[in-house]
Amino acid sequence: MKWHNYRMNTQNLTPSQPATPKRDLILGSTSIYRRELLSRLRIPFEVASPQVDETALPNETPKALAQRLALAKAMAVAQRFPTAVVIGSDQVAQLGESALGKPGNHTNAVAQLTRMSGQTVIFQTALAVVCLETGFIGQDVAQVKVQFRHLSPHQIENYLQAEQPYDCAGSAKSEGLGIALLEKIDNDDPTALIGLPLIRVCHLISQAGIVLL
């Protein structure tokens, strides 16, 4: 696990306010994108691999898949660190009723972007925050509607050669050159599309006892 050296702000407690235990915060994810996003909050956290099977269940909707995996990741890490506040997250791209996961290679990425050309894709970014010692379980999901431009095979190939987003659901990095593939983004949590909805994260970890400001 890797420790991020950010300084946590603390509240001044008056004698009438009993001190609460200072809990560790753990990101249950090996995603470099989620790690970078969480570091923006300037609070210390650790990173742990959840080691969860991400295979979809029969007839499972993309939203239900993302929600189940986010909670499974948080619970898997929380079992190893029961006193900590653990964040789990998962993102599934939804085209119609179909789930689009990480392409993994160039061929799959070409196929995904070809299917998404000119279409509206919903990125289901699910979040779970768990602390086993206190019994806290909080869940939420941010839905981001993304309208893709009509893309030519040449544009798709140029983009994939430039950015190689094979570890990203939907084969595009909106925080990079992938923004050029898009017509419009509609969401209420600006970082959700990158992989971790920080507005919702702040709300849930604050409820779980992590002091932000």
Longest dimension (CA), the chain: 67
Half-sphere exposure of 142 (CA within 13 A, CB side): 25
What is d(CA 77, CA 73) in angstroms, rounded to the nearest whole number? 6
Q: Which residues pair with 130 in a beta bridge?
A: 86, 137
Note if 90 is an active site residue. Answer: yes
What is d(CA 205, CA 207) in angstroms, rounded to the nearest whole number? 5
- Exposure string (b/e) for 84-121, b if CB count within 10 Å is 16 or more? bbbbbbbbbbbbeeebbbbbeeeeebbebbebbbeeeb
Contact 1, 46 (CB under 8 A): yes
Catalytic residue among 24, 90, 140, 189, which? 90
Q: How far is CA 103 from CA 30, 82, 110, in A?
A: 17, 34, 9
What is d(CA 126, CA 149) in angstroms, rounded to the nearest whole number? 25
- Point out the residues that are catalytic: 90
